[in-house]
Amino acid sequence: MKERRSTLQPTYFDAIYAADPDPWKFASSPYEQDKYRLTLEALPQSRYRSALEVGCSIGVLTRALASRCDRLLAIDAARAPLAHARRRCAAQPAVHFAQMFAPAQWPEGLFDLILLSEVVYYLALRDVARVAGRIKKSLAPNGDIVLVHWTGPTNYPLSADQAVGLLIEEMRGVCVVIRSERFGFFRLDIMTRA
C-alpha cells in the first residue's frame, strides 16, 4: 500500500481545538453517546487494573471508562482538550492525564486495556507499525486492545478499514481478534493478547 500522507501532527489538533473546544461534539452528539455506550458494553472484562486511553480529547469517554478501571491513564497530543478532560474527571482520583504524541511518546508500564478510539487513521503507515510496537511492549498478559473508528469519508492519512487492518496485521502472532463489528458509521474491533 502506498503511503498517501504523513501522520497528522499536534499542530493540526491544536488548530482544531483553538477554533472549537469540542470540534467533534463529543459531549452533545447522540452518535457519540451511542458509540461510547456500545464501546463500554463491548469491553471483554468487567474491570481493568490499569488502562490506557490514547486520544482522550475532552474526556467524555474517559469519565465513563473510569468506572471500569482501577487506574486509567488518558493521553492526548493537544493541550487544550486535556484541560477540559481534567476538569470533567476531577472527581475521579483513579484517572490521570498526560500530553503525549503517540507513537513518538508513549507511557511506561503495563496496561490490561489499551483503547484507541478515533486515533489510528491519523497515522501514516510507518507510524501504525510504531504504535503496534509500543502496544506489544505495554500490553499485559491477557490484555485487551479496543479500536473504534468512524468509517465515513475523511481526509486523514488512512481510512478506518486501512488503519484497523494494518494494526491487526502488525499485531498478528501477539494478539487475536475476538470481535469485529460495524455499527452505522463506525467499526469496533477488539483484540486480546494470545
| pLDDT one-digit tens code per residue, 79-93 | 999 999 999 999 999
Q: Residue 82 belongs to what H/E stretch?
A: helix 79-88
AA letter at 7: T
Where exactly are the structural domains of the chain?
29-193
Q: Which residues pair with 175 in a beta bridge?
A: 172, 193
CATH number assigned to the domain covering 29-193: 3.40.50.150
Grid cell at residue 40: 463500554
Q: Residue 37 belongs to what H/E stretch?
A: helix 30-42
Grid cell at residue 71: 487506574
pTM over 0.85: yes
For 30-60, the pLDDT digits (tens) are 999 999 999 999 999 999 999 999 999 999 9
